[in-house]
């Protein structure tokens, strides 16, 4: 158990550094290129409080989401859906760029223009990809997101 927490602390330190440094030129998992837009996500779950970073993709939906976050942090209450994602309402609509995709753990997806999801497993559907959580495995993400509802606070990172 101590080892898990040491690894988790090292991961959190590297994530906080990644937010400050940005991510240029990395490719997303199935299509499109990740942009220089970085965000942080503070997750509060039954497993504790965790700080993640993510790179947003290069599309108008992600750009609109990033601009929304520049105005201030966005707190989203998220619940589990289908044993593969946490989902919650954005409280606003963003432009959609839906394509048929298969998600992987760490994908941040816009659903129906007004719902945001963080995937910890796979699902195939017409979605708008917003970004990808940096540097966590599926097992780590499942542990971070826990079994019940979570609160996610999304913030933009200054690049």
How many angstroms separate the CA atoms of 33 and 149, rounded? 31
Segment 27-56 shows an average pLDDT of 82
Residue 153 has pLDDT above 50, yes or no: yes
Burial class of residue 64 in the structure, from the number of CB atoms within 10 Å of its CB (0-12 exposed, 13-18 middle, 19+ buried): middle
Which is higher by pLDDT, 54 or 32? 54
φ, ψ for residue 15 (rounded to 5)? -65, -45
Mean pLDDT (the chain, rounded): 84
Which stretches of 45-84 are DSSP H helices? Answer: 60-70
User: C-alpha dihedral over 7, 10, 12, 14, to 10 degrees?
Assistant: -140
Global pTM value: 0.80
Residue 133 has pLDDT above 90, yes or no: yes
Residue 155 has pLDDT above 90, yes or no: yes
pLDDT at 19: 59
Q: Is 83 left (phi over 0), alpha (psi -120 to 50) or beta?
A: left
pLDDT at 143: 95
Count of CB atoms within 10 A of residue 12's CB? 15
For 8-28, how does the pLDDT look when each residue is reduced to its tens digit (9 = 90+)?
A: 444 444 444 455 544 333 333
Reported confidence tier of residue 159, pLDDT bands at 50, 70, 90: low
For 82-119, how does the pLDDT look when each residue is reduced to its tens digit (9 = 90+)?
A: 889 999 999 999 999 999 999 999 999 999 999 999 99
Which is higher by pLDDT, 62 or 14? 62
pLDDT at 25: 35
Segment 111-132 shows an average pLDDT of 95
Reported confidence tier of residue 148, pLDDT bands at 50, 70, 90: very high
CA distances, 25 to each of 34, 43, 155 (Å): 7, 26, 21
């Amino acid at each position: 158990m101590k080892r898990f927490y040491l690894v988790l602390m090292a991961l959190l330190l590297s994530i906080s550094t990644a937010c400050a440094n940005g991510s240029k030129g990395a490719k997303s998992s199935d299509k499109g290129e990740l942009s220089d837009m970085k965000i942080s996500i503070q997750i509060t779950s039954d497993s504790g409080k965790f700080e993640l970073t993510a790179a947003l993709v290069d599309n108008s939906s992600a750009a609109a989401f990033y601009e929304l976050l520049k105005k201030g942090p966005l707190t989203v209450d998220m619940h589990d859906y289908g044993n593969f994602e946490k989902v919650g309402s954005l409280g606003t609509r963003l432009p959609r760029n839906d394509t048929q995709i298969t998600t992987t753990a760490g994908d941040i997806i816009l659903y129906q223009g007004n719902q945001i999801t963080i995937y910890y497993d796979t699902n195939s559907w017409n979605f708008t990809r917003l970004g990808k959580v940096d540097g966590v495995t599926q097992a780590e993400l499942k542990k971070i997101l826990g079994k019940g509802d979570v609160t996610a606070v999304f913030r933009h990172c200054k690049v």
